Amino acid sequence: MESLNLLDIFQGINTLVQGFSTDPKIAFGRIFLMVLGIVLLYLGRKGVLEALLMIPMGLGMATINAGVMFFSAYDPATGMNVVAGQAAQQMPGTLFVAPLASDTTALVNILQINWLQPIYTFMFSNGLIACLVFMGIGSLLDVGFVMARPFQSMFVALFAELGTVFVFPIAVALGLTPGQAAAVSTIGGADGPMVLFTSLQLAREIFVPITVVAYLYLGLTYGGYPYLIKLLIPERLRNLPMPMEKTKPITSNQKLVFAVIACVLLSLLFPVASPLFLSLFIGVVVRESELTYFFELFSNTVLYASTFFLGLLLGVLCEAGTILNPVVLKLLLLGILALLISGIGGILGGYAMYFLSGKKYNPVTGIAGVSCVPTTSKVAQKSVGPGIVVLPHALGANISGVITSAIFAATFIALLLPKG
């Protein structure tokens, strides 16, 4: 009997120890990502970051980089069986997901081994999970806030797309392809499902790091944008009360008609994004049609289940080998730049409305044009003085931001998606 090697039992430690001699960058990356995952989980638990996303994402990130083991029968990254004569070669991998698996036979095999592979293959890599999230979001949206102030809402939302517009040429200048540049620039819209959908269409080869970077940064908006507001808007303007408005009550039937017309018209103009438009507005239609059982299904089960698995999958896709891709540094820089410029753009839109309204419009509302629903609306409301209510205006801009980010993403896809 061969002598027992304890490291053969504790393979997570074994792969880490051997990694320091074969590929130190990956080994140190694994340790860093384990720590980062725990930190994200902690910040989510404390409410600094979005808990619904960051808790499963953080634990998934820490676990995937800890649970690395050796495989010899097949390549854990692709699912391909090893060729004869290479059986002795041991390759590190996990039992979670193989994002590079594309060969049909290998994919069928890996679906029976990796426990998250079915969800990744049938929900994540085809954009279904993004559509499910949109269904849930749509069921929570009250489009009456947009209908009450359509000009104000769309005006501010368009300003909040500045990050998307300005980062695209910067990304191209840094060496990304137009498709990759478009995908990363949509981070400026702060709409995670939209980033996932766009990157799947235009930059499939790097859609995993783009989506991971996008959601990491979207989790930071809740904690970062309040400082941007304090930096750019003086306290006297943050405490500016919004004028009382006389708005006609908007009935459910009117909201229903708006949702149907908007869905059909936007799909007619931008067919490539019609799955997202249908997903968003079917949620609105269910809400306004008072279909109680569907509403409960979309607003609770569908939304929270898809958000949970989205966060968990994003976490387990954060393997050191994936995240340490040289292009990821560019994505990190471009992603934070896109969100920063979009936040500044939204505030500029708020200032524009402030002057157009005769200095009656609170410019803080502009940050809600960044379409991270409802996070940026909450940020706007929490950033104003006590007793000041800006939430109705903020929600109008927020919902309009979802629509404008979809339009920008659809425009990129229509112009850059290879024909034929």
Q: What is the pLDDT of residue 243?
A: 79
The alpha carbon of 331 is separated from its chain's Cα centroid by a whole number of angstroms, namely 14
| Higher per-residue pLDDT: 353 or 247 | 353
Nearest partner of 242 among 37, 56, 395, 45, judged by Cα: 395
Identify any residues that bridge with 71 across adjacent strands, giving them in sequence order.
91
Q: Which residue in this structure is represented by tokens 């060729």? A: 83
Q: What is the DSSP string of 249-274?
A: ---HHHHHHHHHHHHHHHHHH-GGGH
Compute CA distances 233 → 197, 237, 362, whole Å. 34, 6, 10
- Average pLDDT for residues 242-262, to the nearest whole number? 89
Shared domain check, 376 and 274: yes
Shared domain check, 189 and 101: no
Nearest 5°: the CA angle 222, 227, 230 is 130
Q: What is the pLDDT of residue 323?
A: 80
For residue 257, pLDDT over 90 is answered with yes
Compute CA distances 269 → 30, 159, 199, 266, 282, whole Å. 45, 21, 20, 5, 18
Shared domain check, 86 and 203: no
Shared domain check, 99 and 207: no
Residue that finishes a domain, picked among 122, 138, 166: 122
Q: What is the DSSP string of 176-238?
A: --HHHHHHHHGGGGT-HHHHHHHHHHH-GGGHHHHHHHHHHHHHHHHHHHHHHHHHHS-HHHH
The overall longest dimension of the chain from CA atoms, in Å, is: 87
Split into its structural domains, the chain has a count of 2
Give the pair of three-digit tokens for residue 266: 């936007």
Q: How many CB atoms lie within 10 A of CB 88?
A: 7
* pLDDT tier for residue 213 given thresholds of 50, 70 and 90: confident
* pLDDT tier for residue 227 given thresholds of 50, 70 and 90: very high
Shared domain check, 159 and 116: no
Identify any residues that bridge with 282 across adjacent strands, giving them in sequence order.
none
Shared domain check, 290 and 316: yes
Residue 409 lies in a domain: yes
Nearest partner of 296 among 131, 135, 129, 134, judged by Cα: 135
Residue 231 lies in a domain: yes
Least confident of 19-23, 266-270, 337-341: 19-23
How many alpha carbons fall within 13 Å on the CB side of residue 189? Answer: 31
Shared domain check, 102 and 134: no
Shared domain check, 362 and 216: yes
Residue 1 lies in a domain: no
Highest mean pLDDT: which range of 158-172, 234-248, 383-397, 405-419: 158-172
Residue that finishes a domain, picked among 91, 122, 153: 122
Which residue range(s) make up the domain with 42?
6-122
How many alpha carbons fall within 13 Å on the CB side of residue 355? Answer: 5
Q: Is the pTM of this model over 0.75?
A: yes
